[in-house]
Homo-oligomer: A and B are copies of this chain.
Amino acid sequence: MKLQQLRYIVEVLNHNLNVSATAENLFTSQPGISKQVRMLEDELGIQIFERSGKHLTKVTPAGKEIIRYSTEILGKVESIKAVANQYTMPDQGTLNIATTHTQARYALPDVIKGFIKRYPKVSLHMHQGTPTQISESVVKGKTDFAIATEALHLYQDLIMLPCYHWNRSVIVPKDHPLANIKHLTIDDIAKHPIVTYIFGFTGRSELDEAFNAAGYKPDVVFTATDADVIKTYVRLGLGVGVIATMAINEDDDFCVLDASHIFKSSLTSIGFRKGSFLRDYMYDFMVRFAPHLTRPLVEKAIQLKYTAEVNKLFEDIELPTR
């Protein structure tokens, strides 16, 4: 059994059982992978993939278990490399952050500015995507951190730590009927078409919840993944914008109405893969992003097995609101 063989079966599965695509992605030849997979199967005396003729069609039950173990093995191999790098060049390495537009654009810039100043030799890569893509990217070990507001809790292999709460604001053009309202209510908003985040993004579910609770079916006429696009369409008069308060700039030419009393606040979390070795600078990144995530606290959280236990750990900690 070779590590490469394990790598191959994992990657073949990650590429929907398409060996050619896998080969291309790994910069190697397709027959090479094919042969190694077969050799592993021969050695173990069991099929990992089912074949119809010469196409891989599905993963056998045994294959599923084997691939799960293989993934864990490869993760630990990465950890060994990380340990070595930690000792040889503690301030050098790579940091891959998977996150949504909202975080990348509004929450992270200051943190990252400070971080790259302290660690100029760490090369930083931002991967934008949907919350689902973000989570999977971390689970598969392609990125180190997931930062998002939704969907992260669905993955059992992620350790998720709460970072901060945030609220929404309503934005309307200055000549809009709502512009000069004194106390905004959900009834006011419900009278107008709404422009907001696409479903599954940036705390969208809290918005739907509030409308449902008030007995409204919101007239969402336009959705986007990010506040910048939403603002553009609010400017065009498409409707009332509902965006994260932190996405509002000083010099925006809108009327901004706080809506923290209307919608429940959302929680942004940072997550990483269970069992992965964290470099010193990764601990430092976390504490920069969320000051309460001190190294001892994070290390304590790593020890825990269930999300429920992690949540309990943070019960008494007051999270900032932005």
The answer to whether A77 and B73 touch across the interface, beta carbons within 8 angstroms, is yes
Query: A88 contacts B3, CB within 8 Å?
Result: no
Query: How many identical subunits does the complex contain?
Result: 2
Complex-state Cα separation, A76 to B68, whole angstroms: 10
Residue A221 CB within 8 A of the other chain = no
* Chain B residue nearest to A304 in the complex (CB): B305
Chain B residue contacts of A81, Cβ below 8 A: 1, 44
Q: Could you say which residues of chain B place their CB within 8 Å of the CB of A209?
A: none
A72 interface hit (Cβ, 8 Å): yes
A77 touches B1 (CB 8 A): yes
Which residue in chain B gives the minimum CB-CB distance to A62? B87
Do A84 and B46 touch across chains, with their CB atoms under 8 A apart?
yes
**Residues from chain B with Cβ under 8 Å of A187 in the complex:** none
Tell whether A79 is near chain B: CB-to-CB under 8 Å: yes
Kindly identify which residue among B2, B62, B66 contacts A3, using a CB–CB cutoff of 8 Å: B2
Known contacts A72-B76, A79-B69: does B84 contact A62 (CB below 8 Å)? yes
- The answer to the question of A70 belonging to the interface, with a C-beta cut-off of 8 Å to chain B, is yes
A1 and B3 contacting across the interface, CB-CB below 8 Å: yes
Contact with B along A73-99 (1 / 0, CB 8 A): 100110111011111100000000000
> What would 8 more interface pairs be, CB under 8 Å, given A45-B88, A69-B83?
A1-B77, A1-B80, A2-B3, A66-B80, A69-B80, A73-B73, A76-B76, A303-B305
Q: 6 tightest CB-CB pairs across the interface, nearest first?
A: A44-B84, A305-B305, A62-B87, A46-B84, A65-B83, A69-B76
